[in-house]
Amino acid sequence: MTTQTAKASPLVAEHQALKASFTDFAGWQMPVKYTSELAEHRAVRDAAGIFDISHMGEIFVEGPGAAAALDYALVGELSKVAVGKAKYSLMCDHAGGVLDDLVTYRLADEQFLVVANAANTSVVLSELTTRTSQFEVSVTDRSSDYALIAVQGPASESIINSAVPKSFTNTVHALKYYAITPAVIAGYQVLLARTGYTGEDGFEVYVTRAHAVPLWRSLLEATTARGGISAGLACRDTLRLEAGMPLYGQELTADTNPYEAGLGKVVRLTKEFVGRNALEPIAAAPTNRTLVGLKGVGKRAARTGYSVHRDDIDGAVGTITSGALSPTLGYPIAMAYVASGVAQPGALLVVDIRGKKEPFEITALPFYRRS
């Protein structure tokens, strides 16, 4: 149930009617599961799942200086993004630590939508406001104006196309990954993006809060008609883990830099941006630790915070950031920061799971890639 002090999705009554279990997520009461995490996970892999992710932050950056402002505020080169496209990027602090990982959509030449993680929306808003003050630009938090619904899985395109005008179905089919377009779904004006956090084909639908309930109901009906179900944040976490996608607060923090997280490719040192002076020497030198994937040999899952060891080295060589028994693969998987000197693919390490050393093998990310 929601509390009076919690932030609430406009869809909370819909989730209650579906007998969802709720969890607090960055001050939001969000559905963690409806039936079982395993059933919801498998539905997304096999057919589709529909998620309420209205806790995400929507910040608009607009004006003649918007592209240049974002180039300075983020590590990526947003000015090179075409209208209708999106880019994954990072906001770093002056020391090079990650403040948030973000998806930014270019809606028009002078209009960008920056989507922040729920726990970081206020930080991102504050930093964007400060960092862009020298540019001709406005920064507006419109998170309270929008709901965000994700439809993920192999049947997602069919689900979306069942709710758009027939004349628009070819546009949906042609929409590329990390692209966005205005659309009419179930009769409502939305922004339709081909993005997601599950490792499957999928869409994220930005809709005004006033239209969130009827849109959710329409998409849920289309989802269940195609063998899918409503899905909560618990299975979203195991889906993203299988896909090797980082989670802020676990793989990414202010104490983490992009290079040790394997995200150096999103940094553009050829431009000026906040954190560049710190990241330039980091990029030129080997990192002390590296984010790796771990595949368990047994059946016991490693969990966040568990220590990682190598038999011939005293003390821990790393720490688990995320771990679970993979519903798709059937064995334990995890991500961990380990000392770069032991981070060779195929290397055998052990994880201390409640006092027992369990063997894990370093493996390439992602663990799962859709066919």
Q: Residues annotated as binding site for substrate?
A: 204
Nearest-10 Cα torsion for 5, 14, 220, 325: 60
* Tokens 């993004």 belong to residue: 81
Binding-site residues: 204
Compute how many other C-beta atoms are within 10 angstroms of the C-beta atom of residue 54.
25
Q: Helix, strand or coil for residue 309? A: strand
Amino acid at 180: I
Determine contact, residues 161/169, Cβ cutoff 8 Å: yes
Would you state the structure tokens that stand for residue 45, as one six-digit string?
Answer: 């892999």
Angstrom distance (rounded) from CA 101 to CA 253:
10
- Measure the CA–CA gap between 132 and 144, rounded to whole angstroms: 22
86-92 β-sheet, strand order = 86-92, 98-108, 111-116, 57-62, 138-141
Residue 321, helix vs strand vs coil: strand
